[in-house]
Amino acid sequence: MTELELNKLISDCLSSNRQAQFRLYEVFAPKLLPLCKRYAKNEWDAEDILQEGFIKAFRYLHDFRNNGSFEGWMRRIMVTSALNFYKRKKIIYNETELNHSPDFEIPEMVVTTGIFQEELLKMVNELPNGYKNVFCLNTIEGYSHKEIGEMLNITVNTSKSQLTRARVSLQRKYNKLSDYNSNKPNILQSA
């Protein structure tokens, strides 16, 4: 979709054109559902988060100022929706709570010798919620520790600490999974 087509679609959505809103959903839902799955406890929650995110997007579409990508704007809404979804359900994220989440989608690839993306995603999903959320927000989504702190209502130091602990935990799991030796690259070290 070209930028001109997207701007026209957004304009039509702002005019409450239901067909345009459905088209916007068709274009962006497949890109945003995997993001929602990263933060959801199950497939149904991911779909609920996606729907809530689109409702918010349509409600606040007039606030989009073309100062960045529209997809980036939508992604931020989805992350916020996911975090708020569980706050409303009174599910408390803490360092020791374990979470089993469905696999989320990343293009199929070998991450490093002996480990596939499916295995890596399983290891991430087995992290305690606090670690998992900070790891996903920082490493996958690219948010800074300051932004993560604001989103999760934690300090910058807590965000950094949880990211470090997530990496250590993932490294241990990786070592066990791959019969780690000193010649293999450490995929979890920060660049």
| Among candidate residues 133, 37, 131, the one with its CA nearest the CA of residue 87 | 133
Model pLDDT for residues 119-150, shown as the tens digit of each residue: 777 788 888 888 888 888 888 888 899 988 88
The low-confidence residues of the chain, meaning pLDDT below 70, are 89-118, 178-191
Helix residue spans in the chain (DSSP H)? 3-14, 18-39, 43-59, 70-88, 117-125, 129-135, 145-152, 156-178
94-191: CATH topology is Arc Repressor Mutant, subunit A (1.10.10)
Contact residues for 102 (Cβ-Cβ < 8 A; gap 6+): 37, 40, 42, 43, 46, 125
- Domain boundaries for CATH 1.10.1740.10 within the chain: 1-91
As a whole number of angstroms, the distance between CA 143 and CA 93 comes to 18
- Domain boundaries for CATH 1.10.10.10 within the chain: 94-191
| Structure token digits, residue 10 | 């957004």
Per-residue pLDDT, 186: 55
Per-residue pLDDT, 21: 94
Q: Tokens 């997809």 — which residue?
A: 71
The structural architecture, per CATH, of the domain 1-91 is Orthogonal Bundle (1.10)
The single-letter code of the amino acid at 122 is: K
Per-residue pLDDT, 122: 78
CB environment 89-119: b (16+ within 10 A), e (fewer): eeeebeeeeebebbebeeeeeeeeeebebee
Strands 115-116 and 110-112: antiparallel
Whole-prediction pTM: 0.61
| Among candidate residues 81, 62, 71, 169, the one with its CA nearest the CA of residue 120 | 169
